[in-house]
A and B are shown apart, each in its own frame.
Chain A
């Protein structure tokens, strides 16, 4: 295939041509993930729910962590909802190219579809798990405020950040299988470095600047602010997280493109 006048346009045109494969791979991902499990899609709910129960018992009940104006379970669930999406998407996403090694070395298609399909499947889980979140809203009688509209900014940011990281890690994992071992440790660190089980309000102000290094922190914090607490998010950190997520996403696409030519030779 010749290189056209506008490679970027051609790149997206090709992704568009393969949209049916993207759909098919996503459906496969969702179906296969829960095949032969008794609870099936129920796991999408049970994962964040079980963590919520554990953390409520340990941190709220035993250690008496503060959760602002909201009850601790819903405070924790709102963050764990996003966290479960983030960590599942990145875990499955980073493995996606290697697990489909036989496809990659036999058939041509834009390889980006593999991480994107796993992320979309995780997004599907996220939607399912959100249904329980809605129920919690009614159960704890939380207020629904216009601040919810910020979700239209926050959720795309989370998606960009997660996709960008998955693209980079899935490409790296083809070349360095060490990624598979490093990732769980890294996720553990990020988990504690992000206000999930605690609130940023519990942290002394002088440490707040360090949280700016972690784009996930303001995203999860804002997500909780606009849903559970019904308040306006801190706009500056959110805006910075938006820029960082976008840069990571575009950087991830470019990095993946650069590396994908050798996938079939190395895998």
Chain B
């Protein structure tokens, strides 16, 4: 277990340009160009949504950090920034080590391919080597409980089998930093339990976890430290119990 900082956010700000969130239209760009040429004022000036504002924090190796807050507070944006899916407008982000993510299971699965083919494909997407997948193949299949259906296209799978397959590959990808986003929202009770047990296992083996959830009990059970976010800003950082209570009181006042 190492105590050096593995994730570091320094004054990170991230805006989403609302007008650009929609599909870009060639017409918009050309009219924009015209406006620039004619030195006209752009019609929309304040069309920005601030997802994160001046966020600074760090995570040490082996720590389990929880992030809570209302919808749209910027929780998922933090995870996306850590894994380099999206980039900050200002500020600096450092993340050291292999990053694995339990985010929306199955994003990398392909309906037309068989379970077996998908295990190799999804493993590769999560950064595993073929040799590594081959070694863990049986474990993955057993964990997912899909041995009988290995060689049929997964479009024939039930949604439960589908998410179990996705989760199992994730569970065996062995990252240094694990990002978990609301996986507990899907799946039945036994699936949720499996997720939590696996996270517990990760924690015990000294991995770093960043956990985003609305399941406050799970946050209290697993995390060593919690950040509370409100409208893209860090409002409070501290022990899980304190922060969860603080969050609940904030929500109550607003209601």
Chain A residues in the interface with B (C-beta under 8 A) = 1-2, 18, 20-21, 23-25, 27-28, 31-32, 35-36, 102-109, 175-178, 261, 264-266
Residues of chain B within 8 A of A261, CB atoms compared = 86-87
With A2-B94, A21-B125, A24-B125: A264-B85 Cβ-Cβ less than 8 Å: yes
Residues of chain B within 8 A of A32, CB atoms compared = 110, 112-113
Q: Is the CB of B86 within 8 A of A1?
A: no
User: Could you tell me the distance between the alpha carbons of A175 and B123 in the complex, rounded to whole angstroms?
Assistant: 29
Q: Is the CB of A20 within 8 A of B129?
A: yes
With A106-B85, A107-B83, A264-B85: A24-B120 Cβ-Cβ less than 8 Å: yes
User: Could you tell me the distance between the alpha carbons of A28 and B94 in the complex, rounded to whole angstroms?
Assistant: 33
B176 close to A (CB within 8 Å): no
Partner among A1, A28, A108, A177 whose Cβ is within 8 Å of the Cβ of B121: A28
With A23-B124, A176-B26, A177-B23: A103-B80 Cβ-Cβ less than 8 Å: no
Residues of chain A within 8 A of B25, CB atoms compared = 176, 178
User: Could you tell me the distance between the alpha carbons of A23 and B129 in the complex, rounded to whole angstroms?
Assistant: 11
CB within 8 Å: A-B pair count: 85
Q: Is the CB of B112 within 8 A of A105?
A: no
Q: Is the CB of B108 within 8 A of A176?
A: no
Known: A28-B121, A31-B113. 10 other contacts (CB 8 A): A18-B127, A24-B130, A102-B107, A109-B125, A176-B24, A176-B26, A177-B23, A178-B25, A178-B26, A265-B16
Q: Is the CB of A108 within 8 A of B107?
A: no
B103 close to A (CB within 8 Å): yes
Residues of chain B within 8 A of A104, CB atoms compared = 85
Q: Is the CB of A108 within 8 A of B110?
A: no
Residues of chain A within 8 A of B95, CB atoms compared = 1
B24 nearest CB across to chain A (Å): 4
B75 nearest CB across to chain A (Å): 15
Chain B residues in the interface with A (C-beta under 8 A) = 16, 20-21, 23-26, 29, 80, 83-87, 94-95, 99, 101, 103-104, 107-108, 110, 112-113, 117, 120-121, 123-130, 153
User: Could you tell me the distance between the alpha carbons of A103 and B83 in the complex, rounded to whole angstroms?
Assistant: 13
Can you name 28 A-B residue pairings with CB atoms under 8 Å? Answer: A1-B95, A2-B94, A18-B127, A20-B129, A21-B124, A21-B125, A21-B127, A23-B124, A24-B130, A31-B117, A32-B110, A35-B153, A36-B112, A103-B107, A104-B85, A106-B85, A106-B101, A106-B108, A107-B107, A108-B84, A176-B25, A176-B26, A176-B29, A178-B26, A261-B87, A264-B86, A265-B21, A266-B24
Q: Is the CB of B83 within 8 A of A108?
A: yes
A125 nearest CB across to chain B (Å): 18
Among B85, B104, B117, which residue has the most Cβ atoms of chain A within 10 A?
A: B85
Q: Is the CB of A107 within 8 A of B101?
A: yes
Among A20, A104, A105, which residue has the most Cβ atoms of chain B within 10 A?
A: A20
A128 nearest CB across to chain B (Å): 20
With A20-B130, A32-B112, A266-B20: A107-B125 Cβ-Cβ less than 8 Å: yes
Among A32, A35, A104, A108, which residue has the most Cβ atoms of chain B within 10 A?
A: A108
Chain A: CB-nearest residue to B153: A35
B127 nearest CB across to chain A (Å): 8
Residues of chain B within 8 A of A18, CB atoms compared = 127
Q: Is the CB of A103 within 8 A of B125?
A: yes
A211 nearest CB across to chain B (Å): 29
Q: Is the CB of B103 within 8 A of A106?
A: yes
B231 nearest CB across to chain A (Å): 19
Residues of chain B within 8 A of A24, CB atoms compared = 120-121, 123-125, 130
User: Could you tell me the distance between the alpha carbons of A122 and B130 in the complex, rounded to whole angstroms?
Assistant: 23
Q: Is the CB of A265 within 8 A of B110?
A: no
A129 nearest CB across to chain B (Å): 23
Residues of chain A within 8 A of B21, CB atoms compared = 265-266
Residues of chain A within 8 A of B80, CB atoms compared = 264
User: Could you tell me the distance between the alpha carbons of A18 and B129 in the complex, rounded to whole angstroms?
Assistant: 9
